[in-house]
Amino acid sequence: MPAAHPDELTFEESLAFLDQIAGFGDPLPHLILTGGDPLNRPDLFLLIAEARRRGVGVSITPAATAALTLDVLQRLKDAGIEGLGLSLDAPTAAAHDAIRGVPGTFDRTVQAIRWGESLGLPIQVNTLASAETAPGIPAVFELLKPHEIARWSLFFLISVGRGKVLQPLSPEDGERLMSWIFSVSRDAPFIVATTEAPSYRRVAIERMREMGITGEQMKRSGPLRGAGIRDGHGIMFVSNTGEICPAGFLPISAGNVRTHHVAEVYRDAPLFKSLHDPRQFEGRCGYCEYNALCGGSRARAYEATGTPLGTDPLCTYIPQPKSH
């Protein structure tokens, strides 16, 4: 097991952070424990219990290691976990393990899906969408179909960290994949969604318009569930050392939970305020008529342009500039 970061939040600091989350008021945020591997924290089950005691819902995305056993999943269920996130990037062990760089992770992930099903845990499967993985995505869908999955989310690669060895999809291939996602989402036995690709909402609206679906029907449709949520707006990320960022892939800190209240940062920090207001976005995302519903991936905009207010380069849409 890798050593914990020397500056990782202690148990007491984590409790203080949970108090801050409870301070958001109604509705309380949902907490997703991710990593690394959250199973590495010896106080994990205590922290989940403390979050639940404060009325905060908790999901977890554990790594597919030998530590992820049926017994651990049962304990997570008993602790009141509301969601189990697992990563499946390819339809075969050879391809998935090559991407993850660890042999055996495909088999462990599929086993964890089966265990999660047997326990009745709501499962979210996350699949990376990159130039390398895109050809295998339809086969991943077929593999998942017979399983009791609540949600399948395609994470459109942003080239930072581990992602750097993989290639992001071109805008044209991204558009094609989003169109395919919309097509399969209509009959899928689970919710099909995207991560770091809010322009999927624009693609879905365009497709629904072509199908003659009315605006009211669109609002209730799956692809527009959560419309408006984007990095820093409806989502925030707190690192293991307490840094408060708009998203995991948008590593600009607006404060630290050791010295700042997370709800105040979310509401009042200039970075977050600018991300709440799409009129402040630059380039196409700034004048696009879809920007309240979509707004583009702020993380990808930052990676591509150096500012989190830039244009998401994955999107092919060319809006008409507003005349003033």
Query: Where along the sequence are the contacts to ligand SF4 (CB under 6 A)?
Result: 199, 202, 284-285, 288, 290-291, 294-296, 312, 315, 317, 319
Question: CA 49, CA 46: separation in Å to the nearest integer?
Answer: 5
Question: CA 84, CA 148: separation in Å to the nearest integer?
Answer: 12
CB of 294 to ligand SF4, least distance (A): 3
CB of 30 to ligand SF4, least distance (A): 24
CB of 307 to ligand SF4, least distance (A): 14
Closest by CA to 230, choosing from 203, 249, 206, 209, is 249
CB of 192 to ligand SF4, least distance (A): 19
Q: How far apart are the first and last CA of the chain?
A: 58
Decide whether 146 or 215 has the Cβ nearer to ligand SF4. Answer: 215
Residue with tokens 């960290």: 161
Residues 168 and 131 sit within 8 Å (Cβ to Cβ): yes
Decide whether 87 or 291 has the Cβ nearer to ligand SF4. Answer: 291
Residues 125 and 86 sit within 8 Å (Cβ to Cβ): yes
CB of 92 to ligand SF4, least distance (A): 32
Decide whether 202 or 233 has the Cβ nearer to ligand SF4. Answer: 202
Q: Residue 268: CB partners within 8 Å, gap ≥ 6?
A: none
The structure tokens listed for 60 are 């977890």
CB of 173 to ligand SF4, least distance (A): 16
Closest by CA to 309, choosing from 273, 256, 267, is 273
Q: Is 126 helix (H, G, I), strand (E, B) or coil?
A: strand
CB of 164 to ligand SF4, least distance (A): 23
Decide whether 86 or 288 has the Cβ nearer to ligand SF4. Answer: 288
CB of 281 to ligand SF4, least distance (A): 7
Decide whether 233 or 284 has the Cβ nearer to ligand SF4. Answer: 284
Hey, CA dihedral for 35, 40, 41, 43, is it positive or negative?
A: positive
Buried b / exposed e over 12-26, threshold 16 CB at 10 Å, is: eebbebbebbbeeee
Decide whether 81 or 169 has the Cβ nearer to ligand SF4. Answer: 169
Decide whether 44 or 299 has the Cβ nearer to ligand SF4. Answer: 299
Residues 213 and 186 sit within 8 Å (Cβ to Cβ): no
Question: CA 33, CA 48: separation in Å to the nearest integer?
Answer: 9
Q: What is the CA radius of gyration of the chain?
A: 20
Decide whether 89 or 312 has the Cβ nearer to ligand SF4. Answer: 312
